[in-house]
A and B are shown apart, each in its own frame.
Chain A
Amino acid sequence: MLDKFGIAKRIAQELKDGYYVNLGIGIPTLVANYIPKNIYVTLQSENGLLGMGPFPFEGDEDADIINAGKQTVTTLPGSSFFDSAMSFGMIRAGKVDLTVLGAMEVAENGDIANWKIPGKMVKGMGGAMDLVAAAKNIIVAMQHTNKAGESKLLPACTLPITGLRCVKKIVTELAVIEVLPNGGGFKLLERAPGVSVEHIRKATAGKLTVPDDVPEMLIH
């Protein structure tokens, strides 16, 4: 079974040289720490920065340079700033290669719910609906089950939807799962170290296709 750092490490393996990537808040943010050394990836922050660098050194914080989580960040050689309309324009136009998001639920057809829990204070969707409606490749990083032990990979979302048929892949503490096109359901691609296919089956409420051979993830 993986911890959140393991999930981030496994997602980092999906990155390719030259990719422009948008990382959501939470586990997705951690992916930045595990970008393979031999490739160059540009991080997009939807509040208007391409080429997001690490947190500043103590004393170098600049209130005018923050990320979408409102944290102080830095620029890198080759960074650029732009306004919010252009930021979502480049996402909508398919220029961003990969988006990594957290989720509360993913349905077997790729629907995602990650912005609202009925009865709880609604804080808003921020950029989540724009990202899921437009991004061409979305990977979800999340726990396989919720705190009550119930599956978050469902036949259909029960929470208010953020976007329809948009998730392509899910990485959890148990598995890497593909969302098959045209309502084909979930397909198990890899198991986390030490996790059995049976365990994953039990934790997945939606339709799950299990190939004969499911390799264990390689986490470096």
Chain B
Amino acid sequence: MSNKVYQTADDALFDIRDGAVIMLGGFGLCGIPENAISALLKKGTKNLTCISNNAGVDDFGIGLLLKTRQVKKMISSYVGENDEFERQLLSGELEVELIPQGTLATRCLASGYGLPAVFLPAGVGTEVADGKETRVFGDKTYLLEYAFDADYALVKAWKGDKYGNLIFRGTARNFNPMMAMAGKITIAEVEHLVEPGELDPNEIHTPGIYVHRIFQGNGYEKRIEQRTVRPRT
């Protein structure tokens, strides 16, 4: 098997060029590819189109790439947890396409399953439906939604082996498995990179066939957006 293991995020992202379309896993700041984002920041890659459920916060996640004006377009379901995003949107510097969350996830899924398009109900009768083909099944109307075409998928997993098999943890799974399946080149960063055989095949969430490059991430901050607790009684 060809070697999928890269030593650093910089090595793994070596060929991402200006203008690339990249998917980034994560929900809010949970399960985001922290190391890959740092590498993009360092590389200074520009005019990126980012497909990601959210756009980070001012000083973390994709928010870091917005601050350095590396993002041309965001394709997301919920944004605006950061002031810089709002400023760039209102000034016209940043293009934003808003997509219902389930539609976003399913369009990634379609890519990974080799489906050119799927019929989905979200957004029927709303501005999301503008210009889209519709079809009625039973008594319900659906929109024709196309699979994404992304150059790269940057995903974050809990554990991975050198063949690219991935296991996610908790709700940090979110968009990562579908995006891993959808990238023309999928780059996975993991908290624990292990030898083939160390992961139980029964517990693999994403088979290595979908993962082209993998590296051991480090320095994970795993920032919490809304720390909510109850007192010990």
Contact = CB atoms under 8 A, between A and B. Distances in A.
B105 A83 contact: yes
B44 interface: no
Contacts of A91: 102
**Interface SS, A side:** loop
Nearest to B128: A129
Contacts of B53: 84
Interface in B121-147: 121-128
B115 interface: no
B72 to A, nearest CB: 18
Contacts of B31: 64
Given A64-B171, A66-B30, A88 B230 contact: no
Contacts of A83: 105, 168, 173-178, 205
Interface in A81-111: 81-85, 87-89, 91-92, 111
Contacts, number: 178
Nearest to B80: A123
A150 interface: no
> Which of under 10, 10 to 19, 20 to 34, or 35 or more describes the interface residues of A?
35 or more
B183 interface: no
B228 interface: yes
A126 B76 CA distance: 8
A109 B108 CA distance: 33
B191 to A, nearest CB: 10
Given A58-B232, A88-B101, A133-B121, A48 B173 contact: yes
User: What bracket does the count of chain B residues touching chain A fall in?
Assistant: 35 or more
Contact of B230 (A56, A121, A129): A56
B226 A70 contact: yes
B178 A85 contact: yes
Contacts of A66: 27-28, 30, 171, 224-226
B154 interface: no
B128 to A, nearest CB: 6
24 contacts: A48-B27, A48-B171, A55-B228, A56-B229, A57-B231, A62-B170, A63-B30, A63-B172, A64-B222, A65-B170, A66-B30, A70-B225, A73-B228, A83-B168, A83-B205, A84-B175, A84-B178, A85-B106, A87-B105, A121-B80, A121-B86, A129-B103, A162-B126, A163-B124
Interface of B: 27-31, 53, 76-80, 86, 89-90, 98, 100-106, 108-109, 120-128, 158, 168-178, 205, 222-232
